[in-house]
Structure 1
Amino acid sequence: MTASGLLVGVDVGTTRIKALAVDAAGKERARAERPTPWRRENGRTEADPERVAELAAVVAAEAAAASGEPRVLGIGVTGMAETGVLADGADRPLAPAIAWHDPRGDAETIHRELGTDLFQRTTGMRAGPLPSLAKLLWLRREHPETAAAARFYSVGEWVVRRLGGEPVAELSLASRTGLLDLGTARPWPAAAELLGGRVLLPDPIPAGTPAGRAGGAHVPAVLHGAVLTVAGHDDQVAAYGVGAAEDGALFDSLGTAEALVRTVRPPLPPERVGALTAQGVTVGWHVAAGHLCVMAGLPTGLTLGRIATMLGATTAEARAELGRLALAEAGGHPTLRLVNPREEHFGLAGITDDVTPARLWRAAVDGLAEHAAALLGRIDAQVGPCRRVVAAGGWLRDPAVLAAKRRHFPGMRTAGVSEPGAYGAALLAAKAAGVPLRPAADG
């Protein structure tokens, strides 16, 4: 089957909402983006669900219109996990969409009523404020009116619904909510009981499943008639977009956060799931049908950005030069090292009189690469070693970062697309629309 027309991938990310228009030959034709419309106050981060959906429709329409191709065959929507929309029976939002990284969350009830180990072994999520369940419990406690909720949509599911699609739940996103039993791939009754017996998820469907067609008075006309699909969790969709979503593959995404995304063929026994979640590693169903995703996040890009600013390298050109100078350093400094890199803070130890900005940058880059490799080693101990590595992300433009990664992964390939998440969403839109579109080759 051949087709003329566009596949549009939308990526509702933490920083930006992006859209990529791809033709039926797999070539990028146009793109558009807007900042994600967060409201930030007193350490809290949230967004108006209707505004998020509106901007997603705007960027999708802009990318489609800029391509010069009049027909949109399919639209796939990927996005951040955990963030979502609590809606009533008429799909009216009952609360703002709370950011996944927002500290609000009632983890204490999860610990007390379900038990930490049972929750983690069952859901593949750590029992903290991150899973959607913790945020839903907080909302019920602080805003009793949300007890009338009939449905929880992950943000990608919400956008598809607002584009005129069906009210579906997608498996990889449902896996991040704390509402899903990994073993059955169905809503977990014990989690529903904590929410007053309300089952807020339908049985999930795989990424790339058709979920209706775009339409409605509020949807831009250029998108009307396109087959809609929920593409799933953004990091996994990016792995899918660069061809790193098969058993034994590792996708290393180096943005503000570094995501280590392993694709694993099930089963994974509950005790191994528990061992991984105890180390802050999550386990869930993958956008690649019939596979699990084992994933860890690290503050690599955030830490590098802070150090670069401290060193006065505040532009892309200055950071690239810093990377070139660091790469020219012959080996590491004998005492300088990065200490305890976390999202909240990090340390630098062993600073002596001969420490230059280039040497400090080299120590930071190498230390962060070693930290990621050590975490990956702990993952490998539970699921087996990775056999193929593909990397992507803006920090790979730093020659020192790229070299450090290649030292740990000699056979590593770099992705050949600039927006893997949006591109992967376009691929899954092609799947839903029945268009034979192949992933772009890696570099």
Structure 2
Amino acid sequence: MSGLLVGIDVGTTRVKAVAVDPRGQVCGESERVTPWRRAGGRAEVDPMALVGLTRTVAAEVAGERGALGIGVTGMAETGVLVDGHDRPLAPAIAWYDPRGDVETIARELGEETFETTTGLPLTVLPSLAKLLWLRRNHPETAAAVRFYSVGEWIVRRFGGEPVAELSLASRTGLLELSRARPWEDAFGLLGSPLLLPEPVVAGTVAGRATGDDLPEALRGAALTVAGHDHQVAAYGVGAALDGALFDSLGTAEALVRTVRPPLAPRQVAALTGQGMSVGWGVVAGHLCVLAGLWTGLTLHRVAELLGATTTAHRRALGEQALAAPACHPTLRLASEGDGHLSVVGITDGVTPAILWRTAVEAMVAESGRLLDRIDALTGPHREVVVGGGWLHNPALLDAKRRQHPGMRTTAIAEPGAYGAALLAASAAGVAVPAPRQREVTQHVHQP
């Protein structure tokens, strides 16, 4: 078998692709910057520009061997409204963009009803809030007949079938969590037809790659929507089954906790009330509880404050911090809201190493508090895999080992794209070694 399995991750920062052979080995990588148009705190992207980039990176990694299967993961909430001819009716608004009509949802559906029905906190993030804003500000979107999350849109433009994947649909505010079906009240609020088809599980075959504008290396490959990027990354490192936790340390730290259903409405309400989300997983018959905090962003800001602007400088700072006390009597980080932080309690003798150790310990403590809340409502987790670029900092690695004594770590550089390639294998009928048999280790591979 000479063809490759291609995983595409349409991320907030980059559009990435990896090629994986049937043994599970990475054979090629490619990426491009995600082409957002930004103005005044807003961000949106031309849906067709995303298609062009994904075709490019996928063809580059497939190369002469070609693709047996293609799986697409990516950011949630962001999506594309199309008319009856699959033509985009508006730009795709970034998931973090402040545009969104929360007030109408709260008034017409009720905050508690929305959160217990969808498993999502009522904020501007869910797609429903973005769609209501578009309906009011872009009247042409009234002609929409379908909404595609980004991964679903790419698969469709590669020649695939119009499908809704469960983990992505769970982020839209358009899905009834308990029944895993489109929520009719949400579409009634939009005044539109059901914009989601009946959802399918990640890895389900969604047709074959076709089209004259598709590179030859990709044609004929089995297509699948791999699902929500955080969950697909957990799948890629073998942490997407009941009782598993994937602690991903990127710009945002994501705690991806997989559980077996059901969760009672009171459990869902308790989780969403604390800013966490509950949705269907990329593995059939599983739910995912997702919590996030700005660990990487906070550490990046502290590092810049200390003049540690390169990876080497931050690693050296982390090594120095290991000799500093884990708890300073007065120094602490204080949240100012909206992602703003203050450094409080600076006294004589506070060094860069002490400040770095204080920042690391504060973020790990907050992560621990979030995880304790999840475990209290879903039962204790039984295994942990930790990954992400910030794990290469010695001080954070040490703190995480103390937080998760039995943790496994991963050397997979792009777990989201890698997991998408594994789900492409499922769609293509290719047997790849089980996730926990691959590049998941007991130590960190330094880059």
TM-score normalised by the shorter chain: which range applies? over 0.9
| Preserved contact between residue 125 and residue 131 of structure 1 (Cα < 8 Å) | yes
Residue number in structure 1 paired with 2:57: 59
Q: In structure 2, how many angstroms separate the alpha carbons of the residues matched to 1:207 and 1:415?
A: 22
Q: CA deviation at 1:342?
A: 5.3
| Preserved contact between residue 326 and residue 361 of structure 2 (Cα < 8 Å) | no
Instruction: Select which of 306, 321, 327 maps to 1:332.
Output: 327
Residue number in structure 2 paired with 1:386: 381
- 1:115-142, Cα deviation, whole Å (9 max, x unpaired): 0000000000111100000000000011
Residue number in structure 2 paired with 1:270: 265
Residue number in structure 2 paired with 1:251: 246
Task: Map residues 297-312 of structure 1 onto 2, 5 A cutoff.
Answer: 297-312=292-307
Q: CA deviation at 1:4?
A: 3.3
The amino acid of 2:429's aligned partner reads G
- 1:156-210, Cα deviation, whole Å (9 max, x unpaired): 0000011111111100000000000011100001001011042110010000000
Q: Does 1:373 align with 2:368?
A: yes
TM-score normalised by length of structure 2: 0.97
Three-state SS of the structure 2 residue aligned to 1:346 is strand
Instruction: Select which of 20, 35, 40 maps to 1:42.
Output: 40
Q: In structure 1, how many angstroms separate the alpha carbons of the residues matched to 2:335 and 2:41?
A: 24
Task: Map residues 66-85 of structure 1 onto 2, 5 A cutoff.
Answer: 70-85=65-80
Q: CA deviation at 1:329?
A: 1.4
Residue number in structure 1 paired with 2:141: 146
Residue number in structure 1 paired with 2:19: 21
Three-state SS of the structure 2 residue aligned to 1:321 is helix
| Preserved contact between residue 299 and residue 343 of structure 1 (Cα < 8 Å) | no
The amino acid of 1:171's aligned partner reads L
Q: In structure 1, how many angstroms separate the alpha carbons of the residues matched to 2:4 and 2:192?
A: 43
Q: In structure 2, how many angstroms separate the alpha carbons of the residues matched to 1:262 and 1:418?
A: 21
Q: In structure 1, how many angstroms separate the alpha carbons of the residues matched to 2:76 and 2:282?
A: 13
| Preserved contact between residue 325 and residue 354 of structure 2 (Cα < 8 Å) | no
Task: Map residues 132-171 of structure 1 onto 2, 5 A cutoff.
Answer: 132-171=127-166
Q: CA deviation at 1:417?
A: 1.0
Q: In structure 2, how many angstroms separate the alpha carbons of the residues matched to 1:429 and 1:387?
A: 28
- 1:278-325, Cα deviation, whole Å (9 max, x unpaired): 110000000011100000111110111111111111111111111111
Residue number in structure 2 paired with 1:419: 414
The amino acid of 1:45's aligned partner reads A
Residue number in structure 1 paired with 2:343: 348
Instruction: Select which of 430, 438, 443 maps to 1:435.
Output: 430
| Preserved contact between residue 46 and residue 92 of structure 2 (Cα < 8 Å) | yes
Q: Does 1:112 align with 2:110?
A: no
The amino acid of 2:21's aligned partner reads D
The amino acid of 2:45's aligned partner reads A
Q: CA deviation at 1:334?
A: 1.6
Q: CA deviation at 1:416?
A: 2.9
Q: CA RMSD for the aligned pairs?
A: 1.0
Q: Does 1:199 align with 2:197?
A: no
Hey, which bits of structure 1, 4+ residues long, moved more than 3 A? none
Three-state SS of the structure 2 residue aligned to 1:243 is coil
Q: In structure 2, how many angstroms separate the alpha carbons of the residues matched to 1:386 and 1:413?
A: 14
Q: In structure 2, how many angstroms separate the alpha carbons of the residues matched to 1:398 and 1:423?
A: 23
Q: In structure 1, how many angstroms separate the alpha carbons of the residues matched to 2:110 and 2:266?
A: 15
Three-state SS of the structure 1 residue aligned to 2:164 is coil
Three-state SS of the structure 2 residue aligned to 1:328 is coil
Q: CA deviation at 1:343?
A: 5.1
Unaligned runs of 5+ residues in structure 1 are none
Q: Does 1:179 align with 2:174?
A: yes
Q: Does 1:323 align with 2:318?
A: yes
Q: Does 1:11 align with 2:9?
A: yes
Q: In structure 1, how many angstroms separate the alpha carbons of the residues matched to 2:42 and 2:359?
A: 30
Q: CA deviation at 1:211?
A: 0.4
Q: In structure 2, how many angstroms separate the alpha carbons of the residues matched to 1:145 and 1:385?
A: 48
Residue number in structure 2 paired with 1:357: 352
The amino acid of 1:25's aligned partner reads R
Three-state SS of the structure 1 residue aligned to 2:19 is strand
Q: In structure 2, how many angstroms separate the alpha carbons of the residues matched to 1:245 and 1:357?
A: 38
Q: In structure 1, how many angstroms separate the alpha carbons of the residues matched to 2:357 and 2:426?
A: 43
Three-state SS of the structure 1 residue aligned to 2:200 is coil
Q: CA deviation at 1:344?
A: 2.3
Task: Map residues 91-102 of structure 1 onto 2, 5 A cutoff.
Answer: 91-102=86-97
The amino acid of 1:32's aligned partner reads S
Instruction: Select which of 275, 279, 293 maps to 2:274.
Output: 279
| Preserved contact between residue 341 and residue 368 of structure 1 (Cα < 8 Å) | no
| Preserved contact between residue 294 and residue 339 of structure 2 (Cα < 8 Å) | no
| Preserved contact between residue 303 and residue 343 of structure 1 (Cα < 8 Å) | no
- 1:31-73, Cα deviation, whole Å (9 max, x unpaired): 00000010100110000000011101110111111xxx52311
Aligned-residue identity in percent: 67
Range 234-243 or range 409-418, more displaced: 409-418
Range 242-251 or range 347-356, more displaced: 347-356
Three-state SS of the structure 2 residue aligned to 1:215 is coil
Change (3 A) 1:342 1:27: farther
Three-state SS of the structure 2 residue aligned to 1:418 is coil
